[in-house]
Chains A and B, each alone.
Chain A
Amino acid sequence: MINKDRTVRDTFVLGASAGGIQALTGILKRLPATLPATVGIVLHRSPTFVSELDRLLGRFASLPVVEPEDGDPVKQGQVYVAPRDHHMSMEDDRWRLERGPKIHFARPAVDPLFTSTAANRGRRTVGVLLSGGGSDGVLGLLAIKAAGGLSIAQQPSEAQSPSMPRHAIDEDHVDAILRLEEIAALILAVAVGEPFPNGR
């Protein structure tokens, strides 16, 4: 059983790379507009080509999806997507956007979002590593677990690119390995402090 102690965990950070659009939409489309939580997303993306990732994901989501500006407050009931060419991190309940050094060849990278959210929100944080290549996000998941949060990996057999969740499983010993619909169900449960069954 996950979240046996019925902690309200209201901050969900999702990281993905190749195959990530399908994974993210598979979760977002299952989240209601009334979700009492914040969702932060880093998807590895081109630093140079303009894309409308927020609008693309927004088509599948009931929650509003935006790319924050530097310094914007972190609000509930919102999905925040890291803009291209910037690391997105959380600091004093505000979003920070920085063109820091590339991490795992990526900017935005998953680790800055995960580690900063762990530092900011502690056990309220749930980190989810989805489809992608490489090992970005693993260090962040370790930080989330160390802060009392939950670390989740997408079931690799379901991921278009299983390397990233596989690294998380091998190197982080995640709290759960779940399919997309199970991840959405877990978000709904722990956001209101309910436990989630994991005895598959």
Chain B
Amino acid sequence: MDGLPEQFPTDGQEAFTGLVCPDCSGNLVVSAHQDHVSFHCRVGHTYGIVELVLAKESALESASWKAVFAFEELAALLADLDNHGLAEWCGPDNCRARSELAQEQASRLRAIIEVDRPLTERSPGNGEIRMGPS
């Protein structure tokens, strides 16, 4: 899977990336304007480098929590089906085993999220920037 194009665009040019827009999932195009790099989709959602990376970090955490919730919901559903005697279609033992495994997977994912460390923008410092006479 490619993120950025092998031939990175030069000033005034743009190229398709292998990435999708964090807002609408459309293909992202990367463009260069002098030293400024930006990404935009066909709709017009636009991001700088930092914004795109932070959006991807955010999307990753969001997707991870969705997975946690999906495992926990499945575990709860299967446990309740077993308790109500409604698990004959798969066998009560299989139902309990799958419920326990799903709960374990949810716990593992929670642990992964706990130790994950998303990137943040480095503090630029507070030094004064001076320009020469122009």
A residues at B contact (CB < 8 Å) = 1-2, 100-105, 109, 111, 133-136, 138-139, 142, 155-157, 162-163, 166-167, 169-173, 175-177, 198-200
A84 to chain B, nearest CB (A): 18
Interface of B is mostly: loop
Q: Is B13 an interface residue (CB 8 A)?
A: no
Q: Are B131 and A135 within 8 A (Cβ)?
A: no
> Which B residue's beta carbon lies closest to that of A145?
B34
Q: Are B124 and A163 within 8 A (Cβ)?
A: yes
Given known contacts A135-B48, A170-B35, A157 and B134 CB-to-CB distance under 8 angstroms: no
> Which A residue's beta carbon lies closest to that of B42?
A101
B55 — which chain A residues lie within 8 A by C-beta? 105
12 chain-A/chain-B pairs, Cβ below 8 angstroms: A101-B23, A101-B43, A101-B45, A134-B48, A139-B46, A155-B128, A155-B129, A156-B124, A157-B126, A163-B121, A177-B130, A198-B134
What's the count of A-B pairs with C-beta under 8 Å?
Answer: 87
User: What band does the interface of chain B fall in when counting residues whose beta carbon is under 8 Å from A?
Assistant: 20 to 34
Q: Are B48 and A142 within 8 A (Cβ)?
A: no
Q: Are B35 and A171 within 8 A (Cβ)?
A: yes
